[in-house]
A and B are shown apart, each in its own frame.
Chain A
Amino acid sequence: MAAPDELAFHEFEEAANLLAQTPNETTTRSDQLSPKGHVAVAMDSGASYGAEDEVEENDKTVLLQEEKQQPGFWTFGYYQSFFDVDTSQVLDRIKGSLLPRPGHNFVRHHLRNRPDLYGPFWICATLAFVLAITGNLTLVLAQRRDPSIHYSPQFHKVTVASVTIYCYTWLVPLALWGFLRWRKGVRERMGVYTFLETVCVYGYSLFVFIPTVVLWLIPVPWLQWLFGALALALSAAGLVFTLWPVVREDTRLAAGVLLSVVVLLHALLAMGCKFYFFQPLPPEPMASPHQATSQPAATGLPPTLPRSVAA
């Protein structure tokens, strides 16, 4: 086989020696490397895995930063770097947020330290408009049952919805990021996410509410609560699984408080949306004429509803 001297690249002496000794070994070594890499990613989070992964990620990010110059924040190119995603990547991130798994950290596994702003921005916009539109639709459905309710497009709800959702997705991650940075100053071993990664996590976690809000049109109360609880569980689980590896290093008290505040805020958002945009429907109107005598009892309820609906 080829002697080491015949190989042109004298820098790679180690590889040349290996090639001389066992010609087939290089191929198997490369095969071994890739499954090992995959196994390292898919393993459950253990302390050793976390350390290895962090070292790998640090090396990678250092290399990337050396390669590309960061343009200043006043240039267009700076913001363009936050939209550097393809359709398949966005869809993959959405899928990752819909199905959170205990070992998979959303930031490491799906974002791979390349957060984007496209997802959070357009998911929030879609959610705001879907909330306003479905809230309006429930009013239409309510009016069909009880014609005394005055239907109107209620355009101001769009403003309320968009302000709420955008403030939630940008201010809460800001607070969380600030808190994590402060804790990192106190305890050195904690990992930290950048602000954009936190915004990304929150933005993508809101995606599961879009189909939930559409399903809230079905006028069955217990079904609405079931969908709401399911969406909240999925979304909050995604957030908790992402934050756990970072917060794990902190004291138990701080970690517990942080995670419970995160989940609580999320639940408040979900319930606030449900109560503000979706009013309970009036009862079914009595169709048959025999029950005309029971009509006066039923009409006790509807007159109170138009006031609450128009509020």
Chain B
Amino acid sequence: MAEAVESPGDPGTTTPRPLFAGLSDISISQDIPVEGEITIPVRSRIREFDSSTLNESVQNTIMRDLKAVGKKFMHVLYPRKSNTLLRDWDLWGPLILCVTLALMLQRGSVDSEKDGGPQFAEVFVIVWFGAVTITLNSKLLGGNISFFQSLCVLGYCILPLTMALLVCRLVLLAEPGPINFMVRLFVVIIMFAWSIVASTAFLADSQPPNRKALAVYPVFLFYFVISWMILTFTPQ
């Protein structure tokens, strides 16, 4: 642009052809074809993607979501420092796990009101309100993780404990005794440690360094309470 301003004063010199020299001679509507799709390749792909999810079969939709959930389960089972859970968070996995946990832990209706294990609603409330409280706590302490990302991580990391519950249920089919209890205790402890390691791998980086222990302790308490509920589960 500087060249175009300065050059009209020098007709004799061999200046290079200035920028945008013939621009004023072009008429927009006739010489430059503006019809048709003016799209950047990436954007057009996204637009096609959006429109086609309406037309695809239900099976495709469900399988895509299930695959995303399954991928995140794998990331929890083999915790590496990765951003997958944080970047594409979703709450399907936590919901599935929480409902499974609550369905299996609830006491039968035969029992009296006061005694017995938790009701479905109690487990549900403990898991979701516990996760919300821990998220609020980490945000108040100055962590830079979003609300739903934290809920997603905490919910997905219940997976090892759900597996422990399944194992405990199977073990309880055998005869009761101290060996039975020892096996269950061992399984629950291992899975509890696995949950803590998995969630810390995802959450620890988002906290300021001198407050990491303050943010991790409530996670420890949360999984400890869930492990306790699993360990003391007795089928009626």
Contact = CB atoms under 8 A, between A and B. Distances in A.
Contacts of A88: 210
Interface in A110-150: 118, 122, 125-126, 129, 133, 136, 150
A293 B80 CA distance: 65
A80 B142 CA distance: 8
Interface stretch (A153-161, A197-205, A284-292): A153-161
Interface string B115-144: 111110010000000000000010111100
B225 A118 contact: no
Contact of A87 (B117, B122, B211): B211
Given A83-B141, A122-B217, A151 B234 contact: yes
Contacts of B122: 155
B111 interface: yes
Interface string B216-236: 011001001100110011100
Contacts of B212: 87
Contacts of A133: 228
Contacts of A150: 115
Nearest to B212: A87
A22 B25 CA distance: 84
B233 A153 contact: yes
B115 A152 contact: yes
A86 B211 contact: yes
Given A122-B137, A122-B218, A153-B232, 18 more contacts: A79-B140, A80-B142, A83-B141, A83-B142, A85-B211, A86-B210, A86-B211, A87-B212, A87-B214, A118-B137, A118-B140, A118-B214, A125-B218, A151-B234, A153-B229, A153-B234, A155-B229, A310-B115
6 contacts: A80-B140, A83-B137, A133-B228, A153-B116, A153-B118, A155-B229
Interface of B: 111, 114-119, 122, 137, 139-142, 210-214, 217-218, 221, 224-225, 228-229, 232-234
